[in-house]
Amino acid sequence: MRHPEENRQSTTPFGFLVLDKPAGLTSHHCVSRVRRAYGLKRVGHGGTLDPAVTGVLPIALGPATRLLPYLSGDKAYRGVVQLGLTTSSDDLDGEVLQRSPLPQGLQAEMVETALAAFRGPILQVPPQVSAVHVDGVRAYQRARRGESMDLAARPVTVHRLTLLAYDPTTGQLELEVQCSAGTYIRALARDLGTALGTGGALASLRRTMALGFELNGAVPWDALDPQALAQGAPLPGLRSPLAALSHLPQQQLGDGERDGWRCGRQLQAQLAWPPGTAVVITTPAGALAGVANAGEDGTLQPKLVLDAAG
């Protein structure tokens, strides 16, 4: 006999749609189309993409929206940096503030040497046009009013930074970046240009990984075309919530523990996890039941219960 939660999950969209976002659309626009396509109000995205940026946009449907805080925060990108200019937004959409000639003899080896300073834990000043709050107002809103802000540097981590190509005739270079949440590739382009003495701005960017989801197998935008769906085209399948949480440890409920879990009672941990560790809890049948936090006394305290009683 199936548990009510498992029956609900089988009939209600519950999972992640990994969209390959095209240029020119906001993340909110993408969420709106997914809502209409699946006939579902409870939809949210993980990791906003600027309209000009393409690539991986994970979208959570149904109860999966509650899982977004537990997904891996690392992201990966491929981007093109234009040396020789600085802009108000640190990309080519902003006002050009300064143009500089490229130094004679600037070669790939010199670029590679400059990149070394941006690997690992670094302090990064966000772009003026960013979503950072300044006195309760988004920085990009204040920038649009013509304000110039002294934004504080924030710690971020660049796990991998690879020079893929460099063209000394155009001053363009292509980078591959894997980084922690909160890292701005536009700021990286700006700071690399400063380090090289040329100025720099982001010319294009494509996200290849976010929240543990990669570009391989992402759903193209036209798979959600309203006209095609109205004519009977199938909806794209969703990624499993359990698969999205595969980076976390798991513990399965015993037959006598399910009712207590649904009432918010703590569990006894089967393994010794460090306090604060998020642990995925599954039903005896292997379905997702929620997420608990490991305590200091060998217990698991429910933090997210998908089928709470009462």
Q: Please tell me which residue in 50, 90, 91, 191 is annotated as part of the active site.
A: 50
Measuring CA to CA, how many Å separate 59 from each of 15, 23, 42, 298? 9, 17, 11, 34
- Burial string for 13-27 (b: 16+ CB within 10 Å, else e) reads bbbbbbbbbeeebeb
User: Rounded distance, CA 102 to CA 115, Å?
Assistant: 17
In 3D space, the residue among 154, 160, 140, 21 whose CA is nearest the CA of residue 77 turns out to be: 160
Alpha carbon 267 to chain centroid, angstroms = 31
167 labelled catalytic: no
The one-letter amino acid at 73: G
Let me know if 120 is exposed, middle or buried by CB neighbors in 10 A (0-12, 13-18, 19+): exposed
Q: Which residues have C-beta within 8 Å of that of residue 106, sequence separation ≥ 6?
A: 83, 168, 196, 198
Tokens 């309760």 correspond to 136
User: Rounded distance, CA 68 to CA 44, Å?
Assistant: 9
User: Rounded distance, CA 283 to CA 308, Å?
Assistant: 13
Annotated catalytic residues are 50
